[in-house]
Structure 1
Amino acid sequence: MKPYLAALGIGLLVGALYSLLGTRSPAPPAIALLGLLGMLLGEQAVPLVKRMVHGQEVASFWKSNCAERVTGVPPKADKEP
Structure 2
Amino acid sequence: MLLALATGIVIGVVFQSLKIPSPAPPFLGLLGLLGMFLGQRLIPWIQLWLSRK
After TM superposition, the score normalised by the length of structure 1 is 0.33
Which of 27, 37, 43 is the matching residue for 1:46?
43
Moved over 4 A (4+): none
Q: CA RMSD in A?
A: 1.6
**Partner residue, 1:3:** none
**What 5-or-longer segments of structure 2 have no aligned partner?**
1-24
**DSSP 3-state at the match of 2:52:** coil
Quick one: percent identity of the two aligned structures?
A: 41
After TM superposition, the score normalised by the length of structure 2 is 0.50
For residues 46 and 37 of structure 1, what CA distance do their matches in structure 2 show?
15
For residues 32 and 47 of structure 2, what CA distance do their matches in structure 1 show?
23
For residues 53 and 47 of structure 1, what CA distance do their matches in structure 2 show?
10
Number of residue pairs the alignment of both structures matches: 29
